[in-house]
Amino acid sequence: MVSGPSAVGKDTVLDALLSAAPSGHPLQKCVTATTRPPRPKEGGGMEQDGVDYHFVSPARFNAMVAQDALLEYAEYADNYYGTPRDWVAERRAQGVDVILKIEVQGGMIVKQKAADAVLVFLQPPSLEELERRLRRRRTDSDDQIAKRLLHARRELDYRSHYDYAVTNDAVPEAVEDIRAILRAEHCRIRRGGDG
């Protein structure tokens, strides 16, 4: 699971990670269900249903929650995001490492439900740099940026609950960090006592 403040570069890093040459275990990004509408992608074009997200109505999302079809879900900026439980379980059973990009609070819940989940916190080099990235994106108003920065400060408080912190200063280095974490975790000896 990769979490981190808005605009830290989660999509950029994960896209680079997934397009890098495979090393060992196959890797796939979880397609998250969301109630938010598709928006333009940084590289151009619009986000596609079933590829970037499962775009669902609030009513459909509500039904999925009622059917316990989501491993976790969280509200963020007036929209809901959830991880389809069956989708993840099927891939894990096939030996695929599933990458979840989820909000910070969602990460805490998945960690409780799935003891073998590995939590990576993607952090900006600094809050100042995060603000620059938010402004560069030009999708948010000043008020929205201020709210996102406040939110980011709170999210950084959760970092100590994560297993790893990766700084997204240079994307290739962040990608190599995550690849190393995946490889190392496959060697990791899990003990009963330490979660």
Interface residue with a second copy among 41, 136, 137, 188 (CB under 8 A) is: 188
Least separation in angstroms between CB 144 and a second copy: 30
Cβ closest to a second copy, residue 60 vs residue 183: 183
Contact string (CB under 8 A) for a second copy, positions 102-131, x = contact: ------------------xx----------
Least separation in angstroms between CB 139 and a second copy: 29
Q: Which residue has the tokens 């990235």?
A: 133
β-pairing verdict for 70-76 and 79-84 = antiparallel
What gap in Å lies between CA 84 and CA 25, rounded to an integer? Answer: 21
Q: Examine residue 165 and tell whether it contacts a second copy (CB under 8 A).
A: yes
Q: Examine residue 176 and tell whether it contacts a second copy (CB under 8 A).
A: yes
Contact indicator for 37, 153 with CB cutoff of 8 Å: no
Q: Examine residue 194 and tell whether it contacts a second copy (CB under 8 A).
A: yes
Interface residue with a second copy among 54, 97, 163, 171 (CB under 8 A) is: 163
What gap in Å lies between CA 67 and CA 152, rounded to an integer? Answer: 31
Interface residue with a second copy among 63, 150, 170, 180 (CB under 8 A) is: 180
Cα separations in angstroms, 130 against 3, 71, 79, 152, 156: 14, 29, 22, 9, 12
Question: Two tokens at 44?
Answer: 């151009």
Interface residue with a second copy among 1, 162, 168, 175 (CB under 8 A) is: 162
Interface residue with a second copy among 23, 48, 62, 79 (CB under 8 A) is: 23
What gap in Å lies between CA 61 and CA 132, rounded to an integer? Answer: 33
Bridge partners for 28 per DSSP: 98
Q: Coil, strand, or helix at residue 194?
A: coil
Q: Examine residue 166 and tell whether it contacts a second copy (CB under 8 A).
A: yes
The footprint of a second copy (CB under 8 A) covers: 23, 120-121, 159-160, 162-166, 176-177, 179-185, 187-189, 191, 193-195
